[in-house]
Structure 1
């Protein structure tokens, strides 16, 4: 399995890391009413939950970009590099969310988006 596909696996699991932070740092988690518990979060746990949701939102485009690039026969080295870059940007995004650094968070979010777009460009050029 290529490095890019391993990055898809990692990106697919990333939301659970952020929700783990929310559960570990927030008020006692209520598994009977998880939505109410999530809505009551404040501060760092709330930001961790937001990072969790955003990681889920970012995943489909990334997975599609990697799979399409590989299906189209794009050069594996650049595909792997862009996939690793996406994962690095998304980790930085989650950490920026936790640190409440909104400008950095937006910048790395945009970097991840550009990584996806570059994967589609590679696919189109293959």
Structure 2
């Protein structure tokens, strides 16, 4: 791999990863009901619960939760990437931490949406931990680089 800095490209990728579960939720609702209400989409899931199968409703709820979690963790990741770039960390370090975060978020979404039991939920939590630790690692590397 070349030594270019790809970490800033990770920011829009992280945003896309945060919105993939939202699209999945919309697809589940549309598949269940044959349409999607774009007039008031935020309250739609609760309104249509009685017309969906329990499995579809639960999966849509998990997709919604994964979407919100992606939005919640994005500023932490963005701050870490920006701190690392500001500190002048080596590109390989920036790329490594960014790749770990983005890979973890991809698997987090998949596992969260497909989750069906407490073992899988534990795996989801472990994957979340990998993503947050990658951010903390980047912050720590940035702090060391500026000392």
Is the pair's TM-score, using the shorter chain for normalization, greater than 0.5?
yes
Mapped partners of 1:38, 1:5: distance in 2: 34
Counterpart residue number, 1:75 = 90
Matching of residues 1-126 of structure 1 within 5 Å: 2-26=5-29, 27=33, 28-40=35-47, 42-100=57-115, 101-126=120-145
Query: How big is the alpha-carbon RMSD for the aligned residues of Structure 1 and Structure 2?
Result: 1.4
Moved over 3 A (4+): 38-41
Unaligned 5+ runs, structure 2: 50-56
> Following TM superposition, by how much is the alpha carbon of 1:38 offset from its aligned partner in structure 2, in angstroms?
3.3
Alignment TM-score, normalising by the size of structure 2: 0.80
Structure (1 or 2) with the larger CA radius of gyration:
2
> Following TM superposition, by how much is the alpha carbon of 1:2 offset from its aligned partner in structure 2, in angstroms?
2.6
Mapped partners of 1:124, 1:74: distance in 2: 10
The answer to whether the 8 A contact 1:69-1:119 is kept is yes
